[in-house]
Amino acid sequence: MAAATALEAVAPTGALWGLVQDFVMGQQEGPADQVAADVKSGSYTILQVVEALGSSLENPEPRTRARGVQLLSQVLLQCHSLLLEKEVVHLILFYENRLKDHHLVIPSVLQGLRALSLCVALPSGLAVSVLKAIFQEVHVQSLPQVDRHTVYSIITNFMRTREEELKGLGADFTFGFIQVMDGEKDPRNLLVAFRIVHDLISRDYSLGPFVEELFEVTSCYFPIDFTPPPNDPYGIQREDLILSLRAVLASTPRFAEFLLPLLIEKVDSELLSAKLDSLQTLNACCAVYGQKELKDFLPSLWASIRREAAAGASARACDHITSNVLPLLLEQFHKHSQSNQRRTILEMILGFLKLQQKWSYEDKDERPLSGFKDQLCSLVFTALTDASTQLQLVGIRTLTVLGAQPDLLSPGDLELAVGHLYRLSFLEEDSQSWGAALEASGTLASLYPVAFSSHLVPKLAKELCIEESDMARGDGPTKCSQHLRCLQALSAISTHPSIVQETLPLLLQHLRQMNKGNMAAGTSEIIAVCQSLQQVAEKCQRDPESCWYFHQTAIPCLLSLAVQASMPEKEHSVLKKVLLEDEVLAAMVSVIGTATTHLSPDLAARSVAHIVPLFLDGNISFLPENSFPGRFRPFQDGSSGQTRLVALLMAFVCSLPRNVEIPQLNQLMRELLELSCCHNCPFSSTAAAKCFAGLLNKHPAGQQLDEFLQLAVDKVETGLSSGPYRSQAFTLLLWITKALLLRYHPLSSCLTDQLMGLLSDPELGPAAADGFSLLMSDCTDVLTRAGHAEVRLMFRQRFFTDNVPALVRGFHAAPQDVKPNYLKGLSHVLNRLPKPVLLPELPTLLSLLLEALSCPDSVVQLSTLSCLQPLLLEAPQIMSLHVDTLVTKFLNLSSSPSMAVRIAALQCMHALTRLPTPVLLPYKPQVIRALATPLDDKKRLVRKEAVLARGEWFLLGSPGS
């Protein structure tokens, strides 16, 4: 012990040895006060205490060294006034060296330094030396609250007694303190830290280039959000913190450029306490800031203050302010020609328009905006034609708010507004405002349907005709962007029943036209039309009449086109081939499902009376253009073209309300069951299985349900036993299991056991493992709450409780080549489990998840990484215990052949930085070197994640991180 041997040792007495041993080895607390009392009385000297502690301070066990230093520090806290200058020098040298010791020793070292910071006999230069050592060796924010408070006390003591010495450090002292305070959360410590910052500024310490950093490290607490706990023994109130922080923020004009934007933001917030605190802080700042600091922010500050005054006042006061302020703003808009200036002014005008929406007026002539409506419209149209996208966007928002207020847009203004929105959303090829223009069109179309029917729908209809001609000539691909925009515009404005009656026939006619004239219609074009139809169907759900209109107009048309396409012909048109593709049928499923979910039971019953007989009996009488070259019998015909359309039947019957009776249900269920296990087309058999499962889920309990279940179980067992349809039988098993699992049917447990048994099957094992993903996931086309399926709220938690223990046992008992199937199944279950349910089980399951990362299956890797990433954020203490394994495996997977796995692994490396910093620091050099490799990845998305992850690791342990 260098410092101890440098002291003039005096042989300690036996009594002192005993007291030291009782404290250090006997873990007794009383001897510390006794030793301090004996030092004060002159029985022992500090040097003798140090000598008696010699063996303890050199002990290889950190806890023993910590007790030794603790005893010395407690004695010094009571006896620091007795120390001589020479003793202080050697003690500080000793304690500075001990700052590099084990983390268990550090708290006692800091207590000793606090005692020495109170010494009158402290030689010049040692205060600077101590603080440099603390700044360099101690990561303060990783310490407990009491130890962080000790550091603040040391700094406070030195600032009170050694101010000139600390100022000699220049900006290094400010930077060091920023490192100490960054991330502080405890209100007791914050009060001390705020006082230190205030003293730094008010006593003219050098801030150097760290003004913004000092502001950031304090302003992050603004506005204060603190509620004292019940029976708080410390008595700290929210107001104490508010006043202390306000004193800091208003202490220097150098904070103005950072603070004023923050105050403007908070004045505009929804929280009343934040508004009040911001205004009071602004008031305090105005006493310190000059015109130079305020001038650039006055327009925004003024707008926010006026807005608050108007919002909190009566309609009369709001009108008075609007009448006086709006002319000034309109004048300023025309006075300034730069787009960014105009945008700022228009945003202020927009604020006043929104305020006016809060008041109602019986007489439209009383509205204060009535006298300005011509000027406002002219100003908005000017913004919409400006080259600046940002100004256009504010103009679109302002137009929407103007239109929401009665009588502010004349018929002529509406025609101009529609023309501008049409141009922005359709004609301008590179316009970034088209999304906002589409949204505004939808909002205004619901308010002014006649204007949009008169001025926009005809233009869009004409564009569709032009596009059809282009497609017929083979120019389709070059017009793809305009084609999509036209379809999006038609769906966007379908927000009023009268407009839907114009746009829906246009979309359906466009779809039919693609079947004529040998048009070059590809998959993407048909899907785009279906997506627009689906969006229109969603908008129609708000109005029962529109919902039925859409259903009875669109569904027969789609079914007619699909049936026509499924008929055997010598020559198929392009559309007919496209309509039977998986992606197109999936898009049509979305349209039919959306159009059915909101039907009333009566109307749904009318529809089902037509559609089920179509599929069971070939009754095509309700279809438009129903002259087909053959019969439609998808369950009897056996051709893949017709059986594929069972997906459309599924979309309809599985979206019906539960209380709608389905005709010929017994026959339908048997046909679906037969098709699901006896057809070579996977798309058709899967659609049949899903349809059967969807109907099972909704069927009321009773004898008929039991009969259907028995038929299904027999079919599955027969299919799985042998033959060419094992895969189809497995798919049926999976969907029936999900249908019953969602409604807590007892049979679901038996079926799950059967599925688990298939994990060891050489042929079906991998598919069975992936099946757990389907069981735990939300579906989009069947078994959805929107489609009226019975979905119990906690089915995932129940599945986890009932089945994960068996999965774990199965994994341990399985042969090596089968273990990956169990890992994949387990990973899928855990990945989709609500995190509050998983966290308590994490210590038990984490080892299996880590093992899953070594599984060569990229699906297992991706699912496991997706599961681990949120756990790194939500359970850092548990995950810290496995940091070595996590770092190694994540880095290995960052060079996976799968791009998705590489991205997920890098995201996990990023999330790792949320673990406690001391745990990660030993790995920092290794990780930074390893992450240099994916920076050169051939995929941009991988490079992006690598940059983010490596940047966080670079900052690990640095100030502000």
Chain segment 585-608, per-residue pLDDT in tens: 999 999 999 999 999 999 999 999
Distance of CA 563 to the CA centre of its chain: 43
Phi and psi at 226, nearest 5°, equal: -145, 130
Higher pLDDT, 141 or 629: 141
SS (HEC) of 856-917: CCHHHHHHHHHHHHHHHHHCHHHHHCCHHHHHHHHHHHCCCCCHHHHHHHHHHHHHHCCCCH
Question: What's the whole-model pTM score?
Answer: 0.66
Res 360: pLDDT: 57
CA–CA separation, 72 and 112 (whole Å): 7
Distance of CA 860 to the CA centre of its chain: 23
> What residue type is 479 in one-letter code?
K
Of 224 and 360, the structure prediction assigns the larger pLDDT to: 224
- What's the token pair of residue 117? 């910071």
Q: Which of 190, 177, 174, 252 is nearest to 222 (CA)?
A: 190
Under CATH, domain 837-960 is a member of which superfamily? Leucine-rich Repeat Variant (1.25.10.10)
Q: Where are the alpha helices (DSSP H) in 431-522?
A: 434-447, 449-455, 457-472, 480-492, 497-513
Please give, one letter per residue, the 3-state secondary structure of 281-337.
Answer: HHHHHHCCCCHHHHHHHHHHHHHHHHHHHHHCCCHHHHHHHHHHHHHHHHHHHHHCC
626 or 519, which is more confident: 626
Half-sphere exposure at residue 140, Cβ-oriented, CA atoms within 13 angstroms: 31
The two structure tokens encoding residue 441 = 């069109």
Mean pLDDT of 453-475: 77
Q: Which residues make up the CATH 1.25.40 domain(s) of the chain?
A: 668-832
Tens-digit pLDDT profile for residues 21-37 = 888 888 888 888 889 89
Whether the predicted pLDDT of 726 surpasses 70: yes
Q: Round to whole Å and give the CA distance between 307 and 301.
A: 10
Out of 52-61, 362-371, 762-771, 860-869, pick the least confident: 362-371
Q: Are 933 and 894 in contact (CB under 8 A)?
A: yes
Residue 940 in this model has a pLDDT that exceeds 80: yes
Specify whether the CB–CB gap between 803 and 829 falls below 8 A.
Answer: yes
CA gap 947, 961 in Å, rounded = 16
Q: 571 φ, ψ to 5°?
A: -130, 120
Quote the pLDDT of residue 344. 81
Which amino acid does the sequence have at 298? L
In whole angstroms, what is the distance from residue 706 CA to residue 381 CA?
A: 67
> Does the pLDDT value for residue 466 go beyond 80?
no
pLDDT tens figures, 179-209: 999 988 899 999 999 999 999 999 999 998 8
Predicted local confidence at residue 429, as pLDDT? 62
pLDDT at residue 310 greater than cutoff 80: no
User: Has residue 136 got a pLDDT over 60?
Assistant: yes
pLDDT at residue 517 in the model: 45
For residues 330-339, give the mean pLDDT.
Answer: 82
Averaged pLDDT of the chain: 86
User: Pick from 556, 660, 572: which is nearest to 610 by CA?
Assistant: 556
Work out the pLDDT band at 722, boundaries 50, 70, 90. Answer: confident
Per-residue burial over 120-138, b if 16 or more Cβ lie within 10 Å, else e, is eebeeebbbebbebbbeeb
pLDDT surpasses 60 at 16: yes
Provide the CATH topology of domain 668-832.
Answer: 1.25.40
Residue 433 clears pLDDT 90, i.e. is over it: no
**What are the Cα distances from residue 98, in Å, to 65, 114, 833?**
10, 14, 47
- Please state, in angstroms and rounded to a whole number, the distance separating the CA atoms of residues 318 and 324: 10
Contact 69, 108 (CB under 8 A): yes
588: Cα separation from own chain's centroid: 31
Does residue 6 carry a pLDDT above 60? no
Query: Any idea which of 63-72, 74-83, 479-488, 726-735 has the lowest mean pLDDT?
Result: 479-488
More confidently predicted of 570 and 660: 660
Q: What is the pLDDT of residue 859?
A: 85
Which residues, 6 or more positions from 81, have their beta carbon under 8 angstroms from its beta carbon?
Answer: 118, 119, 120
Helix (H) or strand (E) holding 213: helix 211-219
Paired tokens of 931: 């992450």
pLDDT, tens digit, for every residue of 675-706? 998 767 899 999 999 999 999 999 999 999 99
For residue 625, the model assigns a pLDDT of 80
Condensed to tens digits (0 to 9), the pLDDT of residues 207-247 reads 988 899 999 999 988 888 888 877 777 778 888 899 999 99
CATH 1.25.10.10 maps onto the chain at 837-960
Amino acid letter, 731 = T
Instruction: Determine contact, residues 401/350, Cβ cutoff 8 Å.
Output: yes
Q: Does the pLDDT of residue 713 top 80, yes or no?
A: yes
Residue 516, both tokens: 């004529």
Lowest average pLDDT, out of 244-248, 251-255, 323-327, 426-430, goes to 426-430
Percent pLDDT > 70 in the chain is 90
